[in-house]
A and B are shown apart, each in its own frame.
Chain A
């Protein structure tokens, strides 16, 4: 029997195994690449490819994917300078690298080229949220959810309330968004669990954070940020062995230095000399990334120099740069710690 189309009582839906989903994400990318390489792709399929590569970068913690998506978006804007969707695609990749002002300019440009605000507002709200302009982000998100309470619209509200630390609203909307999910892809639910995990972590509720990060990991075992945060929670809870196992695997597979930095800190705290290897690796990589994408990596590099990197003098200018880019509570906290350490 097929369940009624518009029922609202679905609490558990089967999801595609995370390994299959990742293979299929790769297959989608492979399927679109030949036309782009040969210059035969439509703007729509080029935008899709940029989004898919960005998603893969997000899931497996692969900065090279972000960089490739960024280059493709730049090229797309050159090739399709009168198409608003090209500018929205570039706004997304610019936002990934924390170039928020440029990203907002692209959104404005897309609207001048004819895209309506209903199409662009989701991306604008994401940038406002990243900038800590929560009230403006909330107004857009709530209006979208009021107009159409789809999974996507409710899930973005979860992320926003979670970041603001409004536990009750985030939990309520989390349940609501899960009820509204009508697909089998595990990625959207993994991202949802992850957002909730961050909220619990910020609240110091480590057991709840572990549950959420573990739920995200179970959706997509290769989800690097979920594994990384799970390791962080485990380390906080004294489960060092498990945390080290996760971080060794992540530091070896990801080109994001955060995992090597986290691993170095744990090894140092455990008195293990191996920490120097990972510390050097992270330091080199942060220096490269801060040179190429200062806005995106200033905060993480500052965190590193304050912790395992043990060079607070290098952390301070990065923390100052970060607060210029976005005035979020986390940015103020980072700056305060950097000042105190110097």
Chain B
């Protein structure tokens, strides 16, 4: 699953478990950039945000490095910190009423009420937070079966374990030229941190399916075959990886990416002389890269990165839109480098599509169903 249940700590407390991150130019108004962070997989109707957690969205300007193999990230950072109160009573349906606030990079605070469709607004910012239908879809058991059998196990019609499930979403629609400096390409990372004087990072997410599909499997790793690496990885600052563990992440990525590349019996990604997979360094830079100057695009995940590797200019906004079948995009990228047919997991959509109108994500599924 995208970043659902991505390590022991996330499993222990879903209110800190980031399930997905999305970044895309606003379909309604190109002067806005939309950033979305979802938490709490399989959220039941009473789910609330924690009052002890900072839900942080971090943004930095990013450029294509001169060697065209990596991104150069600006030092200046813009953070949007969302925090929540203890619920004050219940609404007419008996659901808890919770208020929140978003502190913008300029220090201004925007207040909002959780689950209020109109959200809150401040100078250059609209915000919504609340329960929504989980937009992610994947045949998880067949992804696991692929690892177990070492063969692509997906069926023509797959089974989506997240079908009809809900998450808690935070949606920011922001005037990027006003609230962010630099651009128009931005790197986006979302984090959950403990509140208080010395925040401790609990989880961080940039790209989809890094911790689960890409890093999770231990069996191919020649260095740390018994290491549950995901909590360590979650601890890291995405813009400044600790030198102590980067070798472990690199070894795991090289091994697992090589496994996926071999699934079609062809080598789409030849390793370099040191045994490094061509995607490893790019994926270690684990943030979504979105070009706010490009128009909204439905299928754009990793296009900027692929253009960079092919030494051509990118043509889409990159980032990630809610309805993109990102698992198919990732499988195709990993298995045949985009040089073969699109590889499908057999699940082509969620229970409800997201809309192009704020707050974008579909309303929560009241009657939860299984696929």
Using a CB–CB cutoff of 8 Å, the interface residues on chain A facing chain B are 1-3, 5, 10, 12-17, 19-20, 23-24, 26-32, 34-35, 38, 40, 42, 182-185
Of all chain A residues, the one with the shortest Cβ separation from B193 is: A2
Which residues in B have their C-beta under 8 angstroms from that of A1? 198-199
Which residues in A have their C-beta under 8 angstroms from that of B370? 34-35, 38, 40
Which residues in A have their C-beta under 8 angstroms from that of B165? 31
Provide a sorted-by-A list of 29 A–B residue pairs whose CB atoms are within 8 angstroms. Answer: A1-B199, A2-B200, A2-B201, A3-B199, A5-B201, A5-B236, A5-B242, A10-B198, A12-B196, A13-B196, A14-B194, A20-B48, A23-B87, A24-B15, A24-B50, A26-B44, A26-B46, A27-B40, A28-B44, A31-B43, A31-B47, A31-B166, A32-B42, A34-B368, A35-B161, A40-B159, A184-B50, A184-B194, A185-B13
Kindly state the separation between the CA atoms of A124 and B269 in the bound complex, as whole angstroms.
47
Which residues in A have their C-beta under 8 angstroms from that of B200? 2-3, 5, 10, 13, 182
Of all chain B residues, the one with the shortest Cβ separation from A184 is: B52
Kindly state the separation between the CA atoms of A185 and B16 in the bound complex, as whole angstroms.
9
B371 at the binding interface (Cβ < 8 Å): yes
Kindly state the separation between the CA atoms of A31 and B369 in the bound complex, as whole angstroms.
10
Of B13, B42, B159, which contacts A183 at CB under 8 A? Answer: B13
1/0 per residue, CB under 8 A from A, across B164-175: the answer is 111000000000
User: In the complex, are the beta carbons of B198 and A20 less than 8 A apart?
Assistant: no
B276 at the binding interface (Cβ < 8 Å): no
Q: Beyond A17-B52, A35-B161, A38-B370, is A23–B46 a contact (Cβ under 8 Å)?
A: yes
Tell me if B's interface is mostly helix, strand, loop or mixed: loop
How far apart are A7's CB and chain B's nearest CB, in angstroms?
8
Kindly state the separation between the CA atoms of A87 and B53 in the bound complex, as whole angstroms.
35
How many inter-chain contacts with C-beta < 8 Å in the A-B complex? 117
User: In the complex, are the beta carbons of B12 and A185 less than 8 A apart?
Assistant: yes
User: In the complex, are the beta carbons of B164 and A15 less than 8 A apart?
Assistant: no
Kindly state the separation between the CA atoms of A185 and B11 in the bound complex, as whole angstroms.
12
Of A17, A28, A35, A183, which contacts B202 at CB under 8 A? Answer: A183
B270 at the binding interface (Cβ < 8 Å): no
Kindly state the separation between the CA atoms of A15 and B195 in the bound complex, as whole angstroms.
9
User: In the complex, are the beta carbons of A30 and B235 less than 8 A apart?
Assistant: no
How far apart are B72's CB and chain A's nearest CB, in angstroms?
22
Which residues in B have their C-beta under 8 angstroms from that of A2? 193, 199-201, 237
Kindly state the separation between the CA atoms of A29 and B43 in the bound complex, as whole angstroms.
9
Q: Which of A14, A29, A30 has the most CB of B within 10 A?
A: A14
Kindly state the separation between the CA atoms of A305 and B100 in the bound complex, as whole angstroms.
51
Which residues in A have their C-beta under 8 angstroms from that of B52? 14-17, 184
B14 at the binding interface (Cβ < 8 Å): yes
Which residues in B have their C-beta under 8 angstroms from that of A183? 9, 12-13, 16, 202
Chain B residues within 8 Å of chain A by Cβ, number: 46
How far apart are A41's CB and chain B's nearest CB, in angstroms?
8
Tell me if A's interface is mostly helix, strand, loop or mixed: loop
B86 at the binding interface (Cβ < 8 Å): yes
Kindly state the separation between the CA atoms of A31 and B133 in the bound complex, as whole angstroms.
12
User: In the complex, are the beta carbons of B13 and A27 less than 8 A apart?
Assistant: no
Which residues in B have their C-beta under 8 angstroms from that of A40? 159, 161, 370-371
User: In the complex, are the beta carbons of B46 and A182 less than 8 A apart?
Assistant: no
Contacts A28-B42, A35-B370, A183-B202 given; 12 further ones with Cβ under 8 A?
A2-B193, A3-B198, A10-B198, A14-B52, A14-B195, A16-B15, A20-B50, A20-B87, A23-B47, A27-B48, A30-B46, A30-B368
User: In the complex, are the beta carbons of A24 and B46 less than 8 A apart?
Assistant: yes
Of all chain B residues, the one with the shortest Cβ separation from A5 is: B235
B105 at the binding interface (Cβ < 8 Å): no
How far apart are B293's CB and chain A's nearest CB, in angstroms?
31
Of A14, A24, A38, which contacts B196 at CB under 8 A? Answer: A14
Which residues in B have their C-beta under 8 angstroms from that of A26? 44, 46
How far apart are B317's CB and chain A's nearest CB, in angstroms?
29
